[in-house]
Amino acid sequence: MSARTRPAARFQRIGIIGGGQMGAGIAEVCARAGLDTVVAEADATAARTARERVAVSLERAVQRGKLDRLSAEDALARLVFTGDLEDLADRQLVIEAVTENPGAKTEVFAALDKIVEDPAAVLATNTSALPVMQLGMATRRADRVVGLHFFNPVPVLPLVEVVTSLHTSAETAGAVEAFARDTLGKTAIRSQDRAGFIVNSLLIPYLLSAVRMAESGFATAADIDAGMEQGCAHPMGPLKLADLIGLDTVDAIAAALYEEFKEPLYAPPPLLRRMVQAGLLGRKSGRGFHEYGHIAGRG
C-alpha cells in the first residue's frame, strides 16, 4: 500500500450511514470525541428524526450527570444530518449502520466506493454478523473495508469488535483499532471474519436457549430473567437483553450464524420468528417478551 493510500492514523472527518439506534449512538460518541461528523439518512425526514434521537440521548447524559451541558451542546453542533449520501464525499472514515440486510448493506458499499473521494478513506461496517468480505468485494478497495462493530447503547458500552476480512490490510485494521481505542476511548478486540464474530457467537445461543425455554412453557419470561439476574448475577436477564437488542436483530444474527455453520443451536426458534413477523420487536416497539410503557426513542 503506497503512502498516498495509507489510512490516516487519526481520522477527523467521519461519516455515518443510518441514524437509527446504533447509527445515532456511533454519531454521538464521534461528536463527543470532537470529530467532524456527518450522518446520512434515507431522506430529510429521517435525517431530522436521527438528529432528535441524538439530542435526546445527549440530554439524558446531562440529566444523569454523565456529561455537562456545554459539552452536549458542542457535540450536537459538530453533527450534520443529511438525506444525501453524496455529502459523505470528503469523509476519511465512513461507518455503515443500516438495517441488518445483506442486499441493503452491499448496495451502500457499492455506492460509497463511487462517492468517497479520498483513496485512503476507510469504509467500515457495524454489522453484527454479516461477512465483511462480502461488503468489501462490492467495492474496488476491499483492503480498506473493515468491520467496526459497536454495542448498544453505544455511548455506554465500552467494547468495539474490529473485524478483518481476508482482504483487509494490516494498516487499515491498525488505523481503525487505534481510532476506536485512542480517539473514542473504547476497548477494541480483534475478530476473524466469521458470522457472529466473538461476542454474538457466544451470546446468541444463550439468548435463543432462553427463547426456547419460554416457548416450551418451561418457565415464564419473568422467571427466566430473574433466574439469571439473581442466580448468576447477570445485570440483565436474557429475554430483557433480547428485547433491548431488538428481536428482529437477534433473529437476523441467528439466521446468519445458522446459514454459515448449520448448527441447531443457532437456528431461530419459531416463537422468535412469529414475534418479529407480528412487529413485537422489544423495547423499540413497546412490546417483546416484556411490555414497555413507551416506544424507545419516542418518549
Return the active site residues. 128, 149, 161, 200
Distance CA 38, CA 253 (A): 27
Domains of the chain, start order = 3-192 (3.40.50.720), 200-285 (1.10.1040.10)
Distance CA 106, CA 133 (A): 10
Q: Tens digits of per-residue pLDDT, 208-220?
A: 999 999 999 999 9
Q: Tens digits of per-residue pLDDT, 131-176?
A: 999 999 999 999 999 999 999 899 999 999 999 999 999 999 999 9
Please report, as a single letter, which amino acid is at residue 90.
D
Is the predicted pLDDT of residue 297 greater than 70, yes or no? no
3-state secondary structure of 151: coil
Q: What are phi and psi of 81, to 5 degrees?
A: -115, 130
Give 95's contacts (C-beta < 8 A, 6+ positions apart).
14, 15, 16, 17, 23, 26, 124, 125, 126, 148
Q: Please say whether the beta carbons of 19 and 52 come within 8 A.
A: no
Per-residue confidence at 35, pLDDT binned at 50, 70, 90?
very high
Task: Write down the pTM of the prediction.
Answer: 0.89
Q: Please say whether the beta carbons of 160 and 148 come within 8 A.
A: yes
Mean pLDDT for 225-240 is 98
Inter-CA distances, 179 with 43, 89, 189, Å: 29, 20, 13
